[in-house]
Amino acid sequence: MKNEIYNRKVKIKDLTLDLPVALAPMAGVTDLPFRMLCKEQGCGLLCTEMVSAKAIYYNNRNTWQLMDIDSGEHPVAVQLFGSDPQIMADMAARVAEESDCDIIDVNMGCPVPKVVNNGEGSALMRRPKLVGEILSAMVKAVNKPVTVKIRKGFTEESANAAEIARIAEASGAAAIAVHGRTREQYYSGRADWGVIRQVKEAVSIPVFGNGDIFTAEDAVRMLEETGCDGVMAGRGARGNPWLFREIKALLTEGEVLPRPDRQEVYETMLRHGRMLTELKGEYIGVREMRKHVAWYTAGFPGSAVLRGRVNEAQTFDELKNLLEEAFLGNR
């Protein structure tokens, strides 16, 4: 399995990634605590939750919290979404100046109705000219690399990822990530990795493939089948930061690592919950941890009962006691 292709370093403008593996931006998931856990497991490039350029423009306090960056998580991208070229450019410049990010990424793939109905996210794929205007304005406004994340297309009939990728490259984008599903599909069905190959063949900037990376073997297969420069894991990393160490081991050493044991899962959940509570306060932290516990424990015996009980937890101590009972009680 060990192959020189997997040991190469990807360059995004002047930034070099030690491992061609990125964490996909996910709303409500890729906050600072989760990113740090993924970084510790070897993730090569992190990304914040998507941030509204308009919210930055109107000085929304909560929005800036989404862009909190730890000195230990570099390289990291801040992902912006919006549809007004001037606002996107101005806010990109502000983020580049006021945050410690390494990359400004542009969301052109979000399928959520409230985003799409504003002409943002994946809706931009229906307006190629506007895509070029947004990216050109942003590239001129900042010295940091500007990258973009897209989908296969808005619908199957209008799939235009390769066209959008060429426009992005011509507009100065430094790299592009492609999710192999249309907006119409959301996250259903199988991702079309063939479109990732099409994009790779259409441009010379680095291309990251995204969609259905749930195991290290999936990552290797995507690299082999599409020729992409790197892979981007999203849903496969939820409750599973170990995915990145497993991908790293397989890519660089040809080694298949064992899955984490119950002790490690327990310790990671507890630490994750503590980090969330310290960052966001107990009320919010414990409630946000509920969904993470569901992801961490999926497939474990008794996980449904545990999820129900965790959903009633009000304090970190209650959460901790429930996890101890479930994971350490039978020892």
| 240-279 core/surface letters (b: 16 or more CB in 10 A; e: else) | bbbbbbbbbbbbbeeeeeeebeeeebbebbbebbbbbbee
Q: How distant is the alpha carbon of residue 45 from its chain centre?
A: 9
Report the first-to-last Cα separation within the chain, whole angstroms.
38
d(CA 48, CA 31): 6
Q: Is 166 exposed, middle or buried (0-12, 13-18, 19+ CB in 10 A)?
A: middle
Sort strands 21-23 and 230-233 into parallel, antiparallel or unpaired: parallel
d(CA 330, CA 178): 45
Q: Is 14 exposed, middle or buried (0-12, 13-18, 19+ CB in 10 A)?
A: exposed
Write down the catalytic residue from 43, 47, 101, 110. Answer: 110
SS3 216: helix
Residues ≥6 apart with Cβ < 8 Å to 5:
223
101 is catalytic: no
d(CA 80, CA 248): 28
d(CA 295, CA 277): 18
Residue 95 has phi, psi (to 5 degrees) of: -65, -45
d(CA 132, CA 227): 25
Tell me which residues are annotated as active site.
Answer: 110
